[in-house]
C-alpha cells in the first residue's frame, strides 16, 4: 500500500440514513472531483454539485461538496468530503465511480488518521483519543477523550521529553567535553532536573487508574444473602427484567451484567448469586463467582434483607470495606422503616434503607452511587492516563531514570536516560532521540 495513493472511504456508518459522507485524501483529490463532474471549488466552502458517473455521465446524486486545501486539512493533504444521500445504492455508486479514477483506492482502516499522524497533525495520544471519542458511550467518556484529543497528555509528555533530552544532552556534554568551559554546577543541575521529573512522573502514575476506569466503564457488584432483592434492584436500575426474580432463595446462579449510564458515567453493574454455603455444585460455583466479582469491582453494593433486620448476614459483612455501599432492602417490611435512619446503632450507620417494591430510598441510593462513581473517575484534576500502553511506557521511563541516578558510570547513566527518553517518545510517537546536539551547542556553544 503506497502512502502516496489518494484514498477514499465512507466516513459515516453503513446503513440507511439521510446523509452519508465520503472522504477523499491525497494529491489526486481534485482530479477525482473533476472526473465526477464537480466544477472548481473554493476551499472550505460547501458547494452544491451534481455528481456524475465518469464513464456513462449518468447523474449519481445531487450532493454537497467541500474541499480542504493542503496543508490545512485533517490529513495535511488535499481532502474532499462528498455529502451525499445516505441510501446504500447512492453510496455504492459513488464509491464505485471513485474506484474507477486512476490513482485512487479505498482506504485501509485508520488510514486517514495515520496520515494525519504522519503529517504531524496529531500525536499518538491524540490519535488514540480520537478513537476513544468515536467509541464513547457516555458524556464523561466523551469529555475525557476530547480533553486528551486537545493535547492534555501530549503537552505534558512533550514537556517531560524535552526536559529529559536536555538533561541527557548536558550529561553527554559532561562526558564528551570534560575540559571545556562547562558551568560548574552542570552535573548537579541535571540530576536535580531528573529527580524533579521522576517525582512528577510518579504523581502522574499514582492516579488510581481513574482514566482507564472511565474509558472501560466502572465495575459495580451487588452482593448479599439469597433473597435480599439483588436481582430486583438490578432490574430497577436497568429499567428492564434483566435478571430472574423469585421468592426462592438461590435463584441467581451466574453473574448478570448490565450497562448503565449514571449521569454520564459508564457503569457495568453485576447481579450475583446470594452468598451462602450450599451442597448444590452449580450454586456453589455461582457463589464463588460472586465473591470473585466483588473482589474485582471498583465498588460493591452490599444488600441486606430487611425481612430479617437487624440481623446481618455474616458472609456479606465479611466483604464490607471502606468503599462498600451498605444497603438494606425491603424496608417496607420494617415497623418504623422511615424513621430507622435516625435511630440506628453504629453497625448500621451510613446504611441506605430502600424498598425496591415501593421505591422508598431508591433515588437517594442512585444519587449516592452516582457520586461515588464520579469520585472514582475524579475528572476535576489533571488529565489521567487512559491506557495500559501509557502506563507501561511511563513505568519504563521512571525505572530508567531511577537506574540512571544510581549508575556508577556517567556513560551507563547516559544510556539509561536515553532509554527513558525513548520510552516517552514511544508514548507520543516521537521517535528521534538524536536532537541532542542542538541542545548541547545551543546551551554551551561548545566548539563555537
Instruction: Establish if 126 lies at the interface with ligand GTP (CB under 6 A).
Output: no
Under the binding rule (CB under 5 A), the answer on residue 324 touching Mg ion is: no
Q: Where are the alpha helices (DSSP H) in 150-205?
A: 152-176, 186-205
The answer to whether residues 17 and 79 touch, using CB atoms and an 8 Å cutoff, is: no
Q: Which is nearer to ligand GTP, 142 or 249 (CB)?
A: 249
Q: Which of 299, 269, 304, 273 is nearest to 288 (CA)?
A: 273
Considering the rule CB under 5 A, would residue 138 count as an interface residue with Mg ion?
A: no
In terms of CB distance, is 98 or 354 closer to Mg ion?
A: 354
Check residue 357 for interaction with ligand GTP (CB under 6 A).
Answer: yes
- Name which of ligand GTP, Mg ion, none residue 334 binds, using a CB cut-off of 5 to 8 Å depending on partner kind: none
Smallest distance from ligand GTP to CB 236, Å:
9
Q: Tell me how far apart the terminal alpha carbons of the chain are, to the nearest angstrom.
A: 46
User: Smallest distance, Å, CB 290 to ligand GTP?
Assistant: 9
Nearer to ligand GTP, 53 or 332 (CB): 332
The answer to whether residue 236 forms part of the interface with ligand GTP (CB under 6 A) is: no
Q: Report the Cα 22 to chain-centroid distance in Å.
A: 27
| Cβ atoms of residues 327 and 234 within 8 Å | no
Binding-site member from 204, 210, 230, 418 for ligand GTP (CB under 6 A): 230
Give, as ranges, the residues between 256 and 295 that touch ligand GTP (CB under 6 A): 273-274
* Total chain residues near ligand GTP (CB under 6 A): 23
119 binds ligand GTP (CB under 6 A): no
Applying CB under 6 A, which of residues 10, 76, 217, 226 lies at the interface with ligand GTP?
226
- Residue 133 C-alpha cell reads as 471519542
351 counts as binding ligand GTP under rule CB under 6 A? no
Grid coordinates standing for 334? 420494617
d(CA 64, CA 409): 65
CB 182 within 8 A of CB 174: yes
125 belongs to the binding site for ligand GTP (CB under 6 A): no
Smallest separation, CB 295 to ligand GTP (Å): 18
Q: Round to whole Å and give the CA distance between 68 and 48.
A: 15
The radius of gyration of the chain's CA atoms, rounded to the nearest angstrom, is 30
Closest CA to 48 of 38, 58, 34: 38
- Find the binder of ligand GTP among 251, 278, 370, 399 (CB under 6 A): 251
Least Å distance, CB 66 to Mg ion, is: 55
Interaction mask 69-88, ligand GTP, x per CB under 6 A? --------------------
Q: Which of 148, 329, 351, 398 is in the footprint of ligand GTP by CB under 6 A? A: 329
* Cβ neighbour number for residue 155 with a 10 Å cutoff: 13
Question: Per CB under 5 A, does 252 bind Mg ion?
Answer: yes
- Asked if 245 touches ligand GTP (CB under 6 A), the answer is yes
Closer to Mg ion by CB, 247 or 322: give it.
247
The answer to whether 377 and 352 are in contact (CB under 8 A) is no
Nearest CB to Mg ion, comparing residues 30 and 242:
242
Q: Of the two residues 129 and 328, which places its CB atom closer to ligand GTP in the complex? A: 328
Phi then psi for 9, rounded to 5 degrees? -170, 155
Cell numbers describing residue 13: 456508518
Query: Which residue in 6, 231, 331, 428 binds Mg ion (CB under 5 A)?
Result: 231
**The 6-10 sheet, strands edge to edge:** 47-52, 59-68, 79-86, 17-25, 6-10, 104-106
Q: How far is the CB of 369 from ligand GTP (least distance, A)?
A: 17
Q: How many CA atoms lie within 13 A of 76 on its CB side?
A: 13
Residue carrying the nine cell digits 460547501: 46
What's the rounded Cα separation, in Å, for the pair 36 and 21? Answer: 15
**β-bridge mates for residue 104, sequence order:** 6
Binding site for Mg ion (CB under 5 A): 230-231, 251-252
**Chain residues that interact with ligand GTP, rule: CB under 6 A:** 226-232, 245-247, 249-252, 273-274, 329-330, 332-333, 355-357
Amino acid at each position: 500500500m503506497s502512502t502516496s495513493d489518494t484514498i477514499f472511504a465512507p466516513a459515516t456508518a453503513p446503513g440507511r440514513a439521510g446523509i452519508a459522507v465520503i472522504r477523499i485524501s491525497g494529491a489526486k483529490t481534485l482530479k477525482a472531483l473533476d472526473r465526477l463532474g464537480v466544477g472548481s471549488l473554493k476551499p472550505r466552502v460547501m458547494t452544491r454539485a451534481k455528481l456524475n458517473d465518469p464513464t456513462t455521465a449518468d447523474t449519481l446524486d445531487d450532493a454537497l461538496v467541500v474541499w480542504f486545501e493542503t496543508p490545512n486539512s485533517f490529513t495535511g493533504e488535499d481532502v474532499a468530503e462528498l455529502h451525499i444521500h445516505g441510501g446504500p445504492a447512492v453510496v455504492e455508486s459513488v464509491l464505485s465511480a471513485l474506484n474507477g479514477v486512476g490513482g485512487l483506492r479505498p482506504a485501509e482502516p485508520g488510514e486517514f488518521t495515520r496520515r494525519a499522524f504522519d503529517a504531524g497533525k496529531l500525536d499518538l495520544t491524540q490519535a488514540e483519543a480520537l478513537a476513544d471519542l468515536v467509541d464513547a458511550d457516555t458524556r464523561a467518556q466523551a469529555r475525557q477523550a476530547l480533553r486528551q484529543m486537545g493535547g492534555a497528555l501530549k503537552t505534558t509528555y512533550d514537556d517531560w521529553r524535552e526536559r529529559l533530552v536536555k538533561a541527557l544532552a548536558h550529561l553527554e556534554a559532561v562526558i564528551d567535553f570534560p575540559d571545556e568551559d562547562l558551568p560548574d554546577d552542570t552535573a548537579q543541575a541535571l540530576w536535580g532536573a531528573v529527580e524533579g521529573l521522576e517525582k512528577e512522573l510518579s504523581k502522574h502514575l499514582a492516579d488510581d487508574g481513574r482514566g482507564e476506569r472511565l474509558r472501560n466503564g466502572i465495575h459495580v457488584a451487588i452482593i448479599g444473602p439469597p433473597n435480599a432483592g439483588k436481582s430486583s434492584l438490578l432490574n430497577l436500575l436497568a429499567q428492564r427484567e434483566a435478571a430472574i426474580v423469585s421468592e426462592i432463595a438461590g435463584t441467581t446462579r451466574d453473574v448478570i451484567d448490565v450497562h448503565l449510564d449514571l449521569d454520564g458515567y459508564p457503569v457495568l453493574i453485576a447481579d450475583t448469586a446470594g452468598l451462602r454455603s450450599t451442597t448444590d455444585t452449580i450454586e456453589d460455583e455461582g457463589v464463588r463467582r460472586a465473591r470473585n466479582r466483588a473482589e474485582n469491582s471498583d465498588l460493591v453494593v452490599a444488600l441486606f434483607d430487611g425481612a430479617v433486620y437487624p440481623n446481618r448476614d455474616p458472609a456479606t459483612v465479611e466483604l464490607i470495606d471502606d468503599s462498600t455501599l451498605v444497603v438494606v432492602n425491603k424496608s417496607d417490611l420494617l415497623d418504623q422503616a422511615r424513621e430507622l435512619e435516625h435511630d440506628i446503632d453504629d453497625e448500621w450507620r451510613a446504611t441506605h434503607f430502600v424498598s425496591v417494591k415501593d421505591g422508598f430510598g431508591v433515588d437517594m441510593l442512585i444519587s449516592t452511587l452516582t457520586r461515588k462513581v464520579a469520585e472514582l473517575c475524579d475528572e476535576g484534576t489533571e488529565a489521567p492516563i487512559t491506557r495500559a500502553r501509557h502506563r507501561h511506557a511511563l513505568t519504563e521511563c521512571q525505572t530508567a531514570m531511577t537506574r540512571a541516578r544510581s549508575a556508577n558510570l556517567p556513560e551507563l547513566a547516559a544510556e539509561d536516560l536515553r532509554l527513558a527518553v525513548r520510552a516517552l517518545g514511544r508514548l507520543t510517537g516521537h521517535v528521534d532521540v538524536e536532537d541532542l546536539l542542538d541542545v548541547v551547542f545551543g546551551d554551551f556553544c561548545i566548539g563555537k
